[in-house]
Structure 1
Amino acid sequence: MPLQLSRDPVPAMLQLLDDNIWTAAGPQVGVLGFSYPTRMVVIRLAGGDLFVWSPTALTPELKAAVDARGPVRHLVSPSAMHNLFLSEWQAAYPDARLYAPPGLRARRPDLAFDGDLADGGGHPWSDEIDQVHFAGNRIATEVVFFHRPSRTAIFTDLIQQLDARDLKGWRALVARLDLMTGDQPQTPRKFRLAFTDRKAARAALTRIEAWPARRVLMAHAPPVMEDGQAFLTRTFAWLRD
């Protein structure tokens, strides 16, 4: 899906969520006529290195805020659809390693990737951050992360919520039918229908639901700050049925 940067980028500054984990709102991004909020996450690992999840537009203010927290060593794109700002971050942090989710290497051959987001351990962050490839979807393949010290689960596209007040006419109708403007974040209908391998998806969900999540962060929805594990159980009840 084509992405366009909004004409009015949102100034992004880091907000502390818990010890060594911050989030920042990025600019609105246009996808097929719809504007999506964006969010990135910065985690400081035990050794002081920074893990940057789904980097948003790199403004001077954001760069200064990130640099004040430590050296950027890991740039992580959690979904093949989240690649709009990777080149500017790679240029700004040439010593950082860039990691690709499934499908992104083929989509962005112009980028020099240093590693892939394979399941299991072996990554420099594995002692503190768990990850699961939420497989089985034709259009929304993503890697879900869990920061164990803060008990924070981090999702990309599989859980979303748009503000209905920002949508008019046919866009409001489409968003409502796609389950994107409900009273809480949930999986859009198009992504539910795109799960062609539900066995693989349920296996990933079983691992995710075992996380003792307190909060849930999402790229395109307000954060859920409490009872995250119960929220995930409710949100993915449709997949277990």
Structure 2
Amino acid sequence: MMSGGSGAITTAGRREMTWSNPMGDDMVQVLGDVWCAERPFVWNGIDVGGRMAVVKLSDGSLWVHSPVDLDEPLKEALASLGPVGHIVSPNYEHVKYAKQWVEAYPSAVSYACPGLAERQPEVGFTREVGASIEDESLPEWGDEILACFMDCETNPFTGKPFFNEVVFFHRPTKTLITSDLYWNYPRKEVPLGTRVWKWGMDKVYLPFYKKFMVTDGEAFVSKVNQILDWGVETIVPCHGGIVRSGAPQALRQQLLGRAPAD
């Protein structure tokens, strides 16, 4: 194993460098005990970028959010940090590789957002997370990670939850980890298709989501304020760039459509 840039883990078989993983690293340190694995996420031929978050808990175990394809180089990179103890599938969409991880790490606890285990019983999830107020902080996570279930949106065409997402917050580093609730697609230096995707998400999907999919606006605002009250300083989204400054302002602007009151 060899290191890439500062705080990076890269195995000998270097990955292809793409806009979503510009250094070709297996994993990159975000800050403190928070790492990420950045990979292409191709949708209809467009690389919209994907990111798995990895948190090393105080007991030495790894907490993995929205797992990506588990190949041998990534296994080696993870092993260099610690044993995988927790595997989290945060919403209905980020579940493609869950079964692969559950089978590869049978001693790990696998968590599903509410309703996901019933939708995909073949994965073999251990437990559900986010459905009760007690789940805001789980003892097995050493009370280091908080959870907030965004249970106030519905697909207007089916009458059922769409993402049904649970977002997470790592207390020691004040880092918010999201899958599809918040994204931060880059504005430039990316392929044309990705720029078009960003425009569609920002100008078409987001207004539709807030107007037609958020069925309880008061609850939605309350949930966003709960997240902000955690004291978020960094955002690690599954899609787009990591937000290292101005995180509260970015959340307010995108989710509530306004700048901070102060």
With the shorter chain as reference, the TM-score category is: 0.7 to 0.9
Greater alpha carbon shift after TM alignment, 114-123 vs 210-219: 114-123
User: What is the letter of the counterpart of residue 18 of structure 1?
Assistant: L
Greater alpha carbon shift after TM alignment, 117-126 vs 215-224: 117-126
When normalised by structure 1's length, the TM-score is: 0.83
User: What is the letter of the counterpart of residue 151 of structure 2?
Assistant: A
- For residue 219 of structure 1, the aligned residue among 238, 246, 249 is 238
The reply on whether 1:48 has 2:60 as its aligned counterpart is yes
Q: Which runs of 5+ in 1 are unaligned?
A: 1-7, 182-186
**Aligned alpha-carbon RMSD (Å):** 2.7
CA shift, 1:148, in A, is: 0.8
User: What is the letter of the counterpart of residue 188 of structure 1?
Assistant: L
- For residue 57 of structure 1, the aligned residue among 60, 69, 77 is 69
**CA–CA distance in 2 between the matches of 1:239 and 1:134?**
19
CA shift, 1:128, in A, is: 0.6
Matched residue of 2:240: which SS? strand
Aligned to 2:209: 191
User: What is the letter of the counterpart of residue 158 of structure 1?
Assistant: L
Kindly, what percent of the aligned residue pairs are identical?
A: 29
When normalised by structure 2's length, the TM-score is: 0.77
- For residue 257 of structure 2, the aligned residue among 230, 238, 241 is 238
The reply on whether 1:147 has 2:170 as its aligned counterpart is yes
Higher-strand-fraction structure: 1
Q: Could you say which structure has the larger radius of gyration?
A: 2
Matched residue of 1:124: which SS? helix
Higher-helix-fraction structure: 2
**CA–CA distance in 2 between the matches of 1:23 and 1:206?**
26
Residue deviations 1:190-230, cap 9 Å, x none? 43231112222122112101021111110011110123223
Greater alpha carbon shift after TM alignment, 82-91 vs 231-240: 231-240
Contact 2:151 / 2:165 at 8 angstroms: preserved in 1? yes
CA shift, 1:239, in A, is: 8.3
Matched residue of 2:93: which SS? coil
Contact 1:159 / 1:188 at 8 angstroms: preserved in 2? no
- For residue 191 of structure 2, the aligned residue among 166, 179, 188 is 166
Matched residue of 1:159: which SS? coil
User: What is the letter of the counterpart of residue 156 of structure 1?
Assistant: S
The reply on whether 1:134 has 2:132 as its aligned counterpart is no
